[in-house]
Amino acid sequence: MSSRTDAVIVLSTPMTEPQAHGACAALGERLWFPVESNGDFLGYLAYEGKNGAYWIAGRQGPSCKDFTADGVQGLKHCPNLMPALCTQSAPLSNITYADNATAWQTTVSTGQQTITGFRDKYSFRFEGVRYAAQPERFTYSSVYNGTGHSNALNFGSECVQGAAGQEDCLFLNIWTPYLPTNATASADTLKPVMFWIHGGAFTGGTGSDPTFDGGSLVSRGDVVVITINYRLGTLGFLALDDGVTNGNFGLADQITALEWVHQHIRDFGGDPSRVTIFGQSAGAASVRALLASPKAIGKYAAAIPQSNLAGSNYATTYSQYYTISQEVAVAASPILNATGCLNSISQVDCLRAVGAYVLSNLTDVARFLVVDGTYLVTDELEVTGKGPAAHAPVMMGFMRDDGAAFISYPEPNDTEISFLVDNGFNLSDISTLSVFPEPNGANKTLNIFNTSALIATDSEFRCLDEATAYSAVKHDVFSEVYFYEFNRSYQLSFYSPNPPVCQAPIEPGYPYGNPSAEYFKCHSGDLYYVFGTIVFNGQPLRDEDDIPMSQFIVDTWSAFARTHNPNPDPAYLEARGFTNTTAEVQRSGSKWMPVTSDSLTLRLLEYPSSQEAFGIYDGQDECRALGFGIDYYETQF
């Protein structure tokens, strides 16, 4: 993520120079000396107001060498008490790194337990930290406060999905740039926390997916990153009409993990009062539900839902919640029938005896958020002030062609009408198709796909996400709303719907694709950029802007976590030496402005980015034709 290779470990506790030698040696390091670097990257210490003197290697008689954050060497009496700069020799981590990294292991005390993780070039890492003991199936989790010692050197099991995972899966992972020396670290030294909730249709995914490796985001953004597992599918979301099995177990797991964070993250350098929840797809639906949940409100300070589904077809249930009786009809009853538990004296006890993989692989699966009366008390996030909603800053948006992932690809004999019907669209719900003209290119199937992908994106993502922002601002539900449309993507290596339409086209001079050419910017195409993990995941760079674009996105997301404003502070960028983002901010020539009821504006995230109006295609005509106009939530009863 950066051309710089220099790194130091800052020991902030004042100590004598001999003590500094010993403290560095205890980490498997030595006192740093600027001959190994020009030291200009220490400017961030000065930016933070930590521009005093630090012990470095070297002595002259009875005096010892020191170095200031602005690059001045000096001499001090060796018994003086000062912080110190140690070398940082840990390399980049890989899948086998932790087991062989005893020299870089580090232990944190939190509550009544100690947890050993490790550091690599980018951050301190704690993988597979238990936040809840395995609960009895179809009951709610509670915060785990262990005793004794545990290792966090390897990721915990993913939750059951298909034929993989375990029911004992409630683990989280922590990446942090800072470890306090004691539990009384001052609030101004603690880092903002970014709490990631993975997607996967509520039936798959894991917080240990390398797409979400937090190292780059932590190192560049000076934030703490947490990723979590939560129960999935029927094991995570089944509700029965027995008055007890009320569903939302996976959502409750997310809240349990937030509670663990509030109790323990200070010991890992994180500020529990500055938690930003963020997630994509089903993770964005989770963020939206947490914004509405009385049990979650107050446990986070800001939110970033990325590509939240809302509207028609497949998207409906992600933002519109079933009643328990509706969920029983749609999912629970077929599951009970398939398992022979329908007529049992206790249906839930019967289901507890069924193998986890059997439940996970049934044709019918419970994957729906429901109005359970505790975790969710309204059938949607109320953005007009009629129900519970967190008064928090929100940054939200979608991929330009998000819906292209949720339709098939046309057959040669398809027409636009037949293709839409085959993909589940009710044409009676569309007042006119004339606002979605079919291109007249030579490739007929691509023409149909182009129009249908636009309809799918608008009806399942864009329109109701824009309507959410509009109503939330109009009624002062969220304290601030920043909206975006992602118009550059890097599709995940393991998820490329309708290939190759979501891939940048291969052209002369671009063996891995030309991202400046036209292609579909599909669902999940933002994730490598947000986490800065293109190279970490072994993907090739397609052009000279892939890394600068990712740097800009990492700097933007982390700026929102730090300040609740996605515009990076120029002084921060200068102190960190982030010249690519500084150049992008200057080149774009405008700031990312929040949505107001008088200014429906979004950030078009490409390279360079720009500020545009909602509905940059043809205003709001498309959304009105689909029945999802900008005032959609104003007209609901």
For residue 328, what are the contacts with CB-CB under 8 A and spacing of at least 6? 239, 240, 241
The tokens describing 188, both together, are 């101004």
Q: Hey, what's the torsion of the CAs at 371, 203, 226, 5, to 10 degrees?
A: -150
What is the residue whose two structure tokens read 């719907």? Answer: 497
Rounding to the nearest 10 degrees, give the CA dihedral for residues 419, 522, 444, 412. Answer: -50
Banded pLDDT at 1 (limits 50, 70, 90)? very low
Question: Element (H or E) spanning 286, and its range?
Answer: helix 282-292
Both tokens of 189, joined, read 């030294």
**190 plus 273 within the same structural domain:** yes
Q: Are residues 486 and 422 in the same domain?
A: yes
Q: Report if residue 1 sits inside a domain.
A: no
Token pair in block for residue 600:
């429906």
Whether residue 526 lies inside any domain: the answer is: yes
Say if residues 178 and 261 touch (Cβ distance below 8 Å): no
Q: Which amino acid is at 408?
A: S
What's the mean pLDDT in 333-356? 97
Question: What are 364-399's pLDDT values in tens digits?
Answer: 999 999 999 999 999 999 999 999 999 999 999 999
Provide the CATH number for the domain around residue 24: 3.10.100.10
Contacts of 555 (CB under 8 A, 6+ apart): 220, 221, 568, 573, 578, 581
Residue percentage of the chain with pLDDT more than 70: 96
The type of residue at 103 is A
For residues 478 and 384, give the distance between their C-alpha atoms in angstroms, rounded to a whole number: 10
Q: Is residue 388 part of a domain?
A: no
State residue 99's pLDDT score. Answer: 62
Last residue of a domain, one of 67, 87, 107: 87
In a domain, 462, yes or no: yes
Residues 351 and 307 in one domain: no
Q: Does residue 206 belong to any structural domain of this protein?
A: yes
- Answer yes or no: is pLDDT of 332 > 90: yes
Task: Tell whether 190 and 48 lie within a shared domain.
Answer: no
Cα separations (Å) of 505 from 212, 412, 509? 26, 22, 11
Whole-angstrom Cα distance, residue 128 to residue 146? 14
Among residues 29, 47, 24, the alpha carbon closest in space to that of 562 is found at 47
Mean pLDDT of 577-586: 94
State yes or no: pLDDT of 3 exceeds 60.
no
Strand 82-87 to 124-130 pairing? unpaired
Cβ atoms within 10 Å of 35's Cβ, excluding its own: 10
pLDDT of residue 102: 79
Q: What is the pLDDT of residues 176-192, one digit of tens each?
A: 999 998 656 777 899 99
For residue 603, CA distances in Å to 253, 258, 281, 484, 489 come to 33, 29, 19, 4, 15
User: Does 487 share its domain with 567?
Assistant: yes
**Which residues, at least 6 apart from 337, have a Cβ–Cβ distance to it below 8 Å?**
none
pTM as predicted: 0.96
Residues 453 and 479 in one domain: yes
Same domain (yes/no): 216, 270: yes
Give the number of other Cβ atoms within 10 Å of residue 166's Cβ: 13
**Co-location of 476 and 563 in the same domain:** yes
Q: How many CA atoms lie within 13 A of 147 on its CB side?
A: 0
- Tokens 């995570």 appear where? 236
Confirm whether 348 is domain-assigned: yes
Strands (E), 207-262: 224-228
Cα–Cα distance list, 33 to 10, 26, 57, 67, 178 (Å): 13, 18, 5, 9, 21
Per the structure block, which two tokens stand in for 64? 């010892």
Choice among 93-97, 337-341, 476-480, 614-618 with the minimum mean pLDDT: 614-618
What CATH code is carried by the domain that includes residue 437? 3.40.50.1820
Report the range of poorest mean pLDDT among 210-214, 228-232, 286-290, 434-438: 434-438
The answer to whether the CB of 471 falls within 8 A of the CB of 477 is yes
Rounded to an integer, the average pLDDT of 408-432 is 92
Last residue of a domain, one of 62, 87, 112: 87
Q: Which two tokens stand for residue 454?
A: 């636009």
* R_g of the chain, CA atoms, integer Å: 26
Q: Which residues, 6+ apart, have CB-to-CB distance to 386 below 8 Å?
A: 378
Query: Can you give 183-217 as a three-state secondary structure string?
Result: CCCCHHHCEEEEEEECCCCCCCCCCCCHHHCCHHH
- Contact yes or no for 271/360 (Cβ under 8 A): no
Looking at the structure, do residues 591 and 492 belong to the same domain, yes or no? yes
Which tokens in the block code for residue 313? 């077809």
pLDDT attached to residue 617: 44
Token representation of residue 331: 């999912």
Q: Residues 416, 488: one domain?
A: yes
Q: Give the residue carrying structure tokens 């694709």.
A: 513
pLDDT tens-digit readout, 532-549: 999 999 999 999 999 999
Per-residue pLDDT at 618 exceeds 90:
no
**pLDDT one-digit tens code per residue, 85-122:** 999 999 887 666 666 667 899 999 999 999 999 999 99
Are residues 360 and 215 located together in one domain of the fold? no
Q: Considering the domain boundaries, does residue 627 fall inside one?
A: yes
Q: Give the chain's length.
A: 637
Round to whole Å and give the CA distance between 62 and 76. Answer: 9
Q: How many domains does the chain divide into?
A: 4
* Whole-number Å distance between alpha carbons of 159 and 619: 43
Amino acid identity of residue 359, one-letter, is L
Least confident of 378-387, 429-438, 516-525: 429-438
Q: Identify whether residues 529 and 594 lie together within a single domain.
A: yes
Mean pLDDT of the chain: 93
pLDDT value of residue 37: 56
- Structural domain ending residue among the three candidates 65, 87, 109: 87
Element (H, E) at 130: strand 124-130
Q: Which residue has the tokens 């029927």?
A: 234
Is 386 inside any structural domain? no
- Smallest CA-to-CA distance from 251 within 227, 305, 287, 281 is with 287
Domain, as residue range, for 127 = 98-323
